[in-house]
């Protein structure tokens, strides 16, 4: 569901938006800019991208397994 919103901005900014983004596309442009700042999905997407990086996951697993060996030999 979408909601309507009225915003106020400087005329130069408004004209620039129309020139760069185009009439009829300003709402989508502003929503795309605001979304990562107001929704928590950016972090989810970042973790998803990291987990899809297989080489990074292999390196992280090796690092973690190396720490387990260090703890086993630590004095208490």
pLDDT at 74: 64
1 vs 42, which has greater pLDDT?
Answer: 1
Query: What are the pLDDT digits (tens) for 19-68?
Result: 999 999 999 999 999 988 888 776 778 888 888 889 988 888 888 888 87
Q: What is the pTM of this model?
A: 0.51
Q: Is pLDDT at 73 greater than 80 in this prediction?
A: no
- Rounded alpha-carbon distances, angstroms, from residue 23 to 11, 19, 20, 51: 15, 8, 9, 39
Q: Give the span between the Cα atoms of 67 and 2, in whole angstroms.
A: 49
């Amino acid at each position: 569901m979408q909601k309507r919103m009225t915003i106020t901005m400087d005329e130069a900014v408004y004209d620039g938006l129309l020139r760069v983004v185009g009439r009829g596309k300003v709402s989508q442009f502003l929503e795309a800019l605001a979304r990562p700042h107001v929704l928590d999905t950016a972090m989810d997407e970042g973790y998803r991208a990291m987990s899809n990086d297989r080489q990074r996951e292999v390196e992280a697993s090796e690092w973690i397994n190396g720490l387990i060996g260090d703890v086993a030999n630590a004095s208490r």
